[in-house]
Amino acid sequence: MTGKPTIFIDGEAGTTGLKISDMLQARQDIDLIQLPHKERKSRISRKNAINAADIVILCLPDEAAKDAVSLVENSATTIIDASSAHRTNSNWSYGFTEYDKSQRDEIKSSKRISNPGCYAIGAVSIIHPLISSGLFDGSETFYIHGLSGYSGGGKNLISQFERTPKEGSVTLSGYDYSLNLNHKHVPEIKLWSGIKKDPTFLPTVGPYKQGMLVHVPLPLSQIGKKVTASDIRQIYSEHYENEKFVKVIESNYAEADDSLNPQALNGSNQLHLHLLYNQEKQQFIVVAQLDNLGKGASGQCVQTVNSLIGVDEDTGLT
């Protein structure tokens, strides 16, 4: 890249696209290519913008994202895809910067980067260090529960929750979904966690706009050895040592009124890992806390942009 890097957001009007646009518009170190409203769905206009940009961020449904990639003719253009279309594609790099110590170099050298899913980045951040450390060999069965604000469902779900209810009607409340246990993040979680079997995953939408908790009980009974909370903490502390955005929270939550707020990290690119445990019972649950629109979507995209253009990763994210 020479001069200011140029960035085009294809799908800028969507929930994730709007967040990314808001974060990038205020910056002086990049040029943002923006199409007039009437041209945003024009294939020709989009194709021209895609091939004029140094970095293109796709904030589109899966099929539209695949089609957008087919429009790339400029070999210098780097694609960051925020959809789930390429997250298990071996030709694409996984855009979780803190995944392991070599991931930054891989992302910087790649022209095709798939941004992680919100539930997936929480689950992978928990399970992958446990597999890579050797505590688990990947043959264990993992159970995952996720709680997200309704913004994770995009504009349609936001409108369902925020519309004014008719007199006498019941306001939409939270609910479990993906009841067939076949959520689209499952293949991504399995691949990037390094486990050999599909995890059993049930997500829940909460009656609030944004913020997320991802809960993973650790299957220690399947490995037949005693583990201490200190052992688990050490694995995470070493894996995420010196990371700006991933924090291991040192607390044993001993008080009866302790609580974890899914909205506590809203507006940030932070991901916090909380270890809950009963040492005597050998029961351990790790909870990832994040903003589903931050580290779970737009914030991670901007962090990747920063890495690609060679500025501090927290530029525009603090």
The three-class DSSP label of residue 11 is coil
Residues paired with residue 273 on neighbouring β-strands, in sequence order: 248, 288
Is residue 262 within 8 Å of residue 147, measured between CB atoms? yes
Catalytic residue among 7, 56, 57, 118: 118
Question: 3-state SS of 192-253?
Answer: HHCCCCCCEEEEEEECCCCCEEEEEECCHHHCCCCCCHHHHHHHHHHHCCCCCCEEEECCCC
The three-class DSSP label of residue 262 is coil
301 is catalytic: no
CA distances from 62 to 4, 160, 315 (A): 30, 22, 28
Record the tokens describing residue 257, joined without a space. 């009124």
Active site residues: 118
